[in-house]
Amino acid sequence: MAIEVLGPRACRRLLAEVPVGWLAHCEDGVVHMKPVNFTVHEAEVVVRSAYGETLTAVVQGQQLTLGAGSFDETTRTGWSVVVTGRARLLGADLVNPGVSTEEGWAGFTDTVAIAVPLTTVTGRRVGPDMIGRGPGGSTGAASGRPARRP
């Protein structure tokens, strides 16, 4: 087994493959992490938040982190991507036309769209003999850096 470090473009492509991730922020030294559905729009990850601690963190200008991934326990392969940045309120469709702001799958009725910029994006792919392979199985790591063995 090996770990491959992924570049930002590969991370963005992988984020588009899964609809659910984990959104986290820290308040008073406690990490709050919640499952959310999301979409990637231009240079941001868009999620919907109910009124509460996550929305408060956005308004206060705190860093938010979104993590997503996909793993196959049988083959012991998969990937993870983490996005960190200062989120912003998106506002109404009139303010941000074209942004997909579908309602969250958790069933909250009153939600607000927020966006986490793809400012800091990191990713890893785990699999057998990943050394020298890019995100699509091609040769050459997407990040230009060799993969590291665990």
d(CA 66, CA 96): 21
pLDDT of residue 106: 54
Binned at pLDDT 50, 70 and 90, residue 77 comes out as very high
d(CA 72, CA 128): 12
pLDDT of residue 82: 97
Q: Which residue has the tokens 């792919």?
A: 125
What is the per-residue pLDDT across 82-132, written as a single tens digit (0 to 9) for each? 999 999 988 655 556 555 555 555 555 677 889 999 989 999 999 876 544
- Helix (H) / strand (E) containing 125: strand 120-127
**In this structure, are residues 113 and 87 in contact, taking their beta carbons and an 8 Å threshold?**
no
HEC states along 6-54?
ECHHHHHHHHCCCCEEEEEEEECCEEEEEEEEEEEECCEEEEEEECCHH
pLDDT of residue 70: 96
